[in-house]
């Protein structure tokens, strides 16, 4: 069976010969070959140069034999296309925060083909170079993108975003709707360019209370899913820290839910009642420890996943820049050695 059939069939909960594995942020600073390419340009320059973005997307596949690739880009690329000024130094910043209705009105819903062609060309380049490896496209979820826009960057509390939500809920919902349209168009264009699955990252959703998540995040994630679903590819949602709303997320229309390392997979399986495949969920810091610990954690997670409808092995968040590449290679080998055969319950 091909790598593509393994990953894609796993996303759909179908029978697979073993548990597939890919890793969030698998093309990044922990890899010497990535740093060599990154030294030639800025971070945004790397994102916007299709041949370089495709090259670093291929690097972890070539080195580790992972079962899927994820296109190298950044979740804030569409926000810049909407008209927000984006700066990368040590991290991303948006020097002109969106904190009133006039700022929301100034943002546009961009045409991804004309404003972000470099992402689509990177996808086409990867597909031509590695046609047998399934490629994941991605975007940030509307709430996470809104949080960046309102805060002007990352935050430890997201108090500006929450204050805006509470003081001007209609304005914030207008922003979220505009972001949902942008994200849906961006993901659809990636699929048209050749992405065989897509992931929606809601990295900051865990900062919301369950009621606020249901009011301000989930409806707009569902809006994106419903717009992209007719494309017919698997849709993965990774909403970090949203444990209390996993049951609702399982009814969102997503095929796969990512689970962070603070929620056992068997518990997540009970909450989602077999409606979706689960993805995860090794603590990225485990890769900083000894190989014996990595092996034990792999076996524990695979054991937790045995009763699930389906499982894709991943980290519970992105790989850390301090990770020894040899340890990621060991993780991949361990999952391939220990990965369980999955047969749908109705067979």
Q: Give the active site residues.
A: 25, 29, 38, 74, 148
Q: For residue 346, which phi and psi values (nearest 5 degrees)?
A: -90, 5
For residues 253 and 136, give the distance between their C-alpha atoms in angstroms, rounded to a whole number: 18
How big is the CA angle at 43 (ends 318 and 82), to the nearest 5 degrees?
A: 90
Tokens describing residue 141: 């979820």
The label of the residue with tokens 């949902």 reads 180
DSSP-based helix, strand, coil % in the chain, nearest 5: 50, 10, 35
Q: Which burial class, exposed, middle or buried, applies to 21 when counting CB atoms under 10 A from its CB (0-12, 13-18, 19+)?
A: buried
Half-sphere exposure (Cβ direction) of 30: Cα atoms closer than 13 Å = 23
| Residue-wise burial string across 26-57, b where 16 or more C-beta atoms lie within 10 A, e elsewhere | bbbebbebbeebbeeeeebebbbbbebbbbbb
Q: Which residues contact 270 (CB under 8 A, 6 or more apart)?
A: none
| Contact present, 221 and 179 (Cβ < 8 Å) | no
The H or E element spanning position 148 is: helix 142-151
Q: Which burial class, exposed, middle or buried, applies to 60 when counting CB atoms under 10 A from its CB (0-12, 13-18, 19+)?
A: buried
């Amino acid at each position: 069976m091909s790598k593509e059939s393994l990953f894609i069939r796993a996303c759909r909960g179908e029978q697979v010969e073993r548990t597939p594995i890919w890793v969030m942020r698998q093309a990044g600073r922990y890899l010497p070959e990535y740093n060599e390419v990154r030294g030639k340009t800025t971070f945004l320059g790397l994102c916007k140069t299709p041949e370089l973005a495709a090259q670093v997307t291929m690097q972890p596949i070539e080195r580790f034999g992972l079962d899927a690739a994820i296109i190298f880009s950044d979740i804030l690329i569409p926000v810049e296309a909407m008209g927000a000024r984006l700066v990368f130094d040590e991290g991303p910043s948006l020097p002109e925060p969106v904190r009133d209705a006039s700022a929301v009105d100034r943002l546009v819903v961009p045409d991804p083909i004309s404003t972000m062609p470099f992402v689509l060309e990177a996808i086409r380049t990867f597909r031509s170079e590695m046609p047998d490896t399934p490629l994941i496209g991605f975007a940030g979820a509307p709430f996470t993108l809104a949080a960046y826009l309102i805060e002007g960057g990352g935050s430890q509390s997201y108090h500006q975003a929450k204050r805006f939500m509470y003081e001007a809920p209609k304005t914030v919902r207008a922003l979220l709707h505009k972001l949902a349209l942008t994200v849906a168009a961006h993901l659809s264009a990636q699929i048209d360019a050749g992405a065989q699955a897509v992931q929606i990252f809601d990295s900051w959703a865990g900062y919301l209370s369950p009621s606020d998540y249901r009011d301000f995040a989930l409806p707009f994630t569902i809006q994106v899913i419903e717009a992209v679903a007719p494309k017919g590819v698997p849709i993965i949602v990774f909403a970090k820290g949203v444990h209390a709303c996993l049951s609702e997320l399982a009814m969102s229309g997503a095929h796969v839910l990512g689970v962070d390392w603070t929620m056992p997979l068997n518990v997540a399986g009970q909450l989602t009642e077999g409606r979706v495949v689960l993805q995860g969920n090794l603590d990225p810091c485990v890769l900083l420890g000894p190989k014996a610990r990595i092996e034990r954690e792999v076996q524990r997670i695979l054991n937790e996943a045995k009763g699930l409808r389906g499982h894709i092995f991943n980290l519970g968040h992105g790989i850390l820049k301090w990770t020894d590449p040899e340890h990621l290679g060991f993780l991949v080998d361990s999952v391939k050695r220990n990965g369980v055969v999955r047969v749908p319950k109705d067979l």
